[in-house]
Amino acid sequence: MIVLDSIHKSYVTGTNSLHVLKGIDLEIGAGEFVSVMGSSGSGKSTLLNILGILDDYDSGSYVLNGKKIKGLNETKAAMLRNEMIGFVFQSFNLISFKNARENVALPLYYQKVSRRKRNVIAMEYLDRMGLKDWADHLPSELSGGQKQRVAIARALISNPKVILADEPTGALDTVTSFEVMDILKEVNDQGITVIIVTHEHDIASMTRKIIRLRDGIIAEVIVNGDLQLYRDRVLAE
């Protein structure tokens, strides 16, 4: 699904150049559930943005679903994002003047799906998130967890192959975080690749694979199995 081969990325600000990613080699198969960890500034978001075609990289190669991603123009990038990738952000990034249903339906609007049809589909997804009764509410009338569930519904509505989530639980309390993770797990169970960035070990422990970044390279990859016990203990408290 995702193949990265010695990806390099530097940020140039004025005369300074900051080398953030220093050769990332990574392979993520279809249906994997992966978390990216690492200290602040280690390049997690940078990596996720490259995966999401929100940002370009300097050298190396990135192949998404058999398609080489490099130097795409904005229209092509937008189309690929629309059909391949669903984004979930730490701060939800819902559009404040649109209600939950309209927010969820937005990606279909860009696919030029008719208004009636996309509203029906949006309601289905909201229902799956247990938010049917909140369809007409504005984001400001929803709790953090509800907002994130709306955002997940929005990410899912265009049937993406990959869900990219940058600290999806960063703004939520523990219980709500676990609810959100449960939903992401369900999503993953349907065969969609899910990649999240997180700081929290118990969140990471709910994924199947942990990629630890340090100083712009992959320090270690932990295939999860034993940590499952850790998760159960946290939930029991």
Partner 1 sequence: MFDIDRWNEIWHALTKNKVRSLLTAFGVFWGIFMLIIMSGASNGLKNGIVEGVAKFATNSAFIWTDRTSEPYKGFTRGRYWLFNSDDLVYLKANVPEMEFLTPKNFGQFGAANNVIRGRLSGSYNVKGDYPDYVKIDPYTIVYGRWINEMDIRDRRKVCVIGEKVYETLFEANEDPLGEYLKISGVYYQVVGVIRPETRVNINGRAEESVFLPFTTMQQTFNMGDQVHFLAFTAKKGVPVSVVEEKVKTILKKRHSISPTDTQALQSVNIEKQFQQISGLFLGIGILTWIVGIGTLMAGVIGVSNIMLVIVRERTKEIGVQRALGARPSTIISQIMLESVVLTTVAGYIGLSLGVGLLELVNKALEMQAKGGDEIFFRHPEVNLNIALASLAVLVIAGLFAGSIPAKRALSIKPIEALREE
Q: Which residues form the interface with partner 1 (CB under 8 A)?
A: 49, 52, 54-55, 74-75, 78-79, 81-83, 87, 89-91, 93, 95-98, 102, 106-107, 109-111, 115, 154, 158
Residues numbered 5-24 forming contacts with ligand ATP, rule: CB under 6 A? 11, 13, 18, 20
From the list 5-13, 17-25, 39-47, 130-138, the region that binds Mg ion by CB under 5 A is 39-47
Q: Which of 14, 15, 40, 233 binds ligand ATP (CB under 6 A)?
A: 40
CA dihedral in degrees (16, 91, 167, 162; nearest 10)? -100
Structure tokens at 41: 């500034």
Each residue 107-146 as x (binds Mg ion by CB under 5 A) or -, in order, gives ----------------------------------------
Question: CB of 31 within 8 A of CB of 193?
Answer: yes
Question: CB of 105 within 8 A of CB of 122?
Answer: yes
The SS3 call for residue 35 is: strand
The SS3 call for residue 120 is: helix
Q: Which does 115 bind (CB under 5 to 8 A by kind): Mg ion, ligand ATP, partner 1, none?
A: partner 1
Tokens 């530097």 sit on residue: 10
